[in-house]
Chains A and B, each alone.
Chain A
């Protein structure tokens, strides 16, 4: 299966090359840029489809490239990477369409889409990384590719937000680097392996390993916005809406969460991590972050800011699932990687639509917005209800498995209260928005309404993406037991990890 072995590289190139080409496209050449974008996105989608097929049949897809003695660039597709690759590829396609509509008349579009493609390349590289060295490499590249996107507007506020973002993430990157290099010096090169690597190396000093874990979790926790390293996330929402959507749903935050999953399962091994006493530590941070993020979200009037705090809280479910020993919790954590992605991207698309069409940025301005923009608000509502955990939307599945997993592991006494508290808090900050949007009378005049004479409430490129992703969130919940659903993949992975 020679072709399958080159698949990871082809998947990287399918966004890298169009991305580089886009930088050279002249600003006004809308057609060429859009074609390049969509060509890349659809090619990647097709290749990922092939890869899912290959991984399902366990045809090895791996590429190795020697960089230096003991350092290899390894691209490798396993069940876990497939989850993340698929998520980013699908959502990239949707976000690209959205971004084309969103940035219709704004300046620097070639630069934007160039970095946008690089950002996805780095995310996919991260998902396909087969060892820690490769992971660190793409982890840093991701930071570099997203910085220009956050700073894109060029206003003083955007540059400031980008600077804060950079300070946090590169600082975290150094911590991760130190942890990884340290591990390399005591344990040699480490390829990700289902079931973990370190558990078989008995000669290692447990305390050294604990220190290394701490360094790595700090490094990854910055991107995953774990408390107290979450400070950059609310600042980074000055970015244009498609960037926020991608940042919160796929690229940056998820990269951190995905890294935590990788380190716990495929480096330490979840049982060994538990034996070292690392899981309760991680679980405590995650649980605190879940509650903390929700509480902070309550008091935010700025919609994107409220969503940002909600992300802080929701992403920690993934870490929480990782921190509970047992296959059910693992399933809950990994499936939430996907579910949170589709739901959160919907919310950010909708928030972008409100801002773009009506100039609505704050929750307090959203009275009656449901009648003005029904499709968008419908999508927003589905995603918000999913976040709260109402069946049959995807978010319910995640919480259900997390709860079951906690009970199975005997951790129910602290996890269940956290889940309940968090769901109540989610309801407390999402339901008032829904109430305002649907039931309160509309304002006389929207803050900055744009003229639009189309068939729908707004241009299709902006309206359809949230509708599509909200539908996905609904389908992932309704058909959770269907083959190739996120839940089934997560079950497959959990089966291979234990």
Chain B
């Protein structure tokens, strides 16, 4: 049981290798290994919930020498969310890819992506973070390139070079830290880092690298084309998870290690960029002509919300109010993960059904797929931030934190962002209700539609009405917030 933290990485890794050799059964192997990893992630969450953070030194090396794995409230919850999304997308992908060549290429890469995601979330030191970030970026690029049309390849190449740039800048920061402090272990560093110039430069470099990866405005330019042209299950993972773990590393570094270096001014700057991202991303989503492009721009906006929390968390006094803001941030990230993956999976169903995803021509097709349209509406509810979604609670706390911190100017940003989100979501639904062919059966492609439905339900009902445990969880284990 205590080894769950290893299994969650080792099982997909093993699965990836086996699926290369035994490619005929690759989809079965992927489903089994992801479900096992999902079970392991549930065990990890339970362990952290009960006993607090879990540490594991691989091969029993002392920390600082070997690879140390670590799970706390933040990482274990994100891990669980990723594994749920990945498992759903895995079921979906089994029906999505029909071309045998693509299938054979897809599964090993997909499992490698899972390995990278899980290892990243569980990394306890900076070097491992760098390695897993790189591995994640490479498998993501390879998966994007699976849609072998020209646009997708161009987007993949761009994604690759930007991603490499981001991780190199990050690596430079890591190197500086090692030079200055002689260790890369996060726990050890948190006691050593002060507000001196070297740490500040290192912090700046690492932040810059991660901002590229997390596509914060104005560094978002690579995201829409990459996310919109990848195959649907890949887009789901990219938008819901890959971008989000970059934000995760940022948070980890800011609150865990560099809490003394992060000044209110720099937090305010990032918050402002987040606010611009909310409005700009939503506006672009409204202009988008294609469903997946719209979803990709919406990701830019949703990431922006996460950054608005930053100046608020810095400004709020330590205690329950700050914890609540932090949990709300986490809740918004989780909800977006579920909602956006559900959205992309549904967009994929529509694209396969009618061979395109042009919003203006959705009239008949959206009607022919009632369940998929419903899923799009549900995840749309979560993207807008209407009840009963988790985003609604997130926005509630975002607004209340703004008032509490005396930074009321974020409130109009949230209001405008919500209005724009309403507009882009209901633009699609408006077409769905518009004239077109008659309604099809409720369920057309069960293996693709049901996973998407489950994800959308997580985003709306479960996180919106049943997430009380989450607040409790974070409040109990918020010591990492306090340094």
State whether B433 touches A162 (Cβ < 8 A).
yes
State whether B386 touches A140 (Cβ < 8 A).
yes
A137 to B131, CA, bound (A): 44
Binds B, one of A2-10, A61-69, A269-277, A382-390: A61-69
State whether B388 touches A177 (Cβ < 8 A).
no
Does B471 sit at the interface, judged by CB under 8 A? Answer: yes
A147 surroundings in chain B (CB, below 8 A): 426, 429
Does A178 sit at the interface, judged by CB under 8 A? Answer: yes
Does A71 sit at the interface, judged by CB under 8 A? Answer: yes
**Given A67-B468, A68-B393, A170-B419, is A163 in contact with B426 using a C-beta cutoff of 8 Å?**
yes
State whether B400 touches A137 (Cβ < 8 A).
no
From B433, B467, B471, residue with most partner A Cβ within 10 Å: B433
Q: In the complex, what's the smallest C-beta–C-beta distance from A28 to chain B, in angstroms?
A: 12
Does A154 sit at the interface, judged by CB under 8 A? Answer: yes
B27 surroundings in chain A (CB, below 8 A): none
A167 to B436, CA, bound (A): 24
Does B179 sit at the interface, judged by CB under 8 A? Answer: no
User: Count the B residues whose beta carbon is within 8 Å of the partner chain — how many?
Assistant: 40
Contact with B along A121-162 (1 / 0, CB 8 A): 000000000000000110011011001100110111011001
Contact partner of A181 among B396, B465, B475, CB < 8 A? B396
Does B149 sit at the interface, judged by CB under 8 A? Answer: no
A177 surroundings in chain B (CB, below 8 A): 395-396, 399
State whether A73 touches B465 (Cβ < 8 A).
yes
Contact partner of B422 among A27, A152, A170, CB < 8 A? A170
State whether B324 touches A69 (Cβ < 8 A).
yes
Contact partner of B415 among A65, A70, A178, A184, CB < 8 A? A178
User: Count the A residues whose beta carbon is within 8 Å of the partner chain — how many?
Assistant: 45
State whether A67 touches B393 (Cβ < 8 A).
yes
Contact partner of A136 among B387, B418, B467, CB < 8 A? B387
Contact partner of A185 among B320, B386, B404, B442, CB < 8 A? B404
A177 to B423, CA, bound (A): 18
Does A214 sit at the interface, judged by CB under 8 A? Answer: no
Contact partner of B388 among A24, A137, A167, CB < 8 A? A137
A167 to B430, CA, bound (A): 12
B396 surroundings in chain A (CB, below 8 A): 71, 177, 181
A163 surroundings in chain B (CB, below 8 A): 426, 430
A151 to B433, CA, bound (A): 7
A277 to B2, CA, bound (A): 64
A407 to B18, CA, bound (A): 86
State whether A68 touches B471 (Cβ < 8 A).
yes
Interface positions of B from 242 to 295, Cβ below 8 Å from A: none
A184 to B396, CA, bound (A): 10
Q: In the complex, what's the smallest C-beta–C-beta distance from A240 to chain B, in angstroms?
A: 13
Q: In the complex, what's the smallest C-beta–C-beta distance from B139 to chain A, in angstroms?
A: 36
Contact with B along A19-36 (1 / 0, CB 8 A): 000011001000000000
9 tightest A-B contacts by CB?
A137-B387, A151-B433, A181-B399, A185-B403, A185-B400, A174-B415, A181-B400, A140-B386, A170-B422
B residues apposed to A, CB below 8 Å: 320, 324, 327, 370, 381, 384, 386-388, 392-393, 395-397, 399-400, 403-404, 411, 415, 418-419, 422-423, 426, 429-430, 433-436, 438-439, 442, 464-465, 467-468, 471, 475
A-B CB contact pairs (8 Å), 17 listed: A67-B464, A67-B467, A68-B467, A69-B320, A71-B393, A141-B388, A154-B435, A163-B426, A170-B386, A170-B418, A170-B419, A177-B399, A178-B399, A178-B411, A184-B400, A185-B403, A185-B404
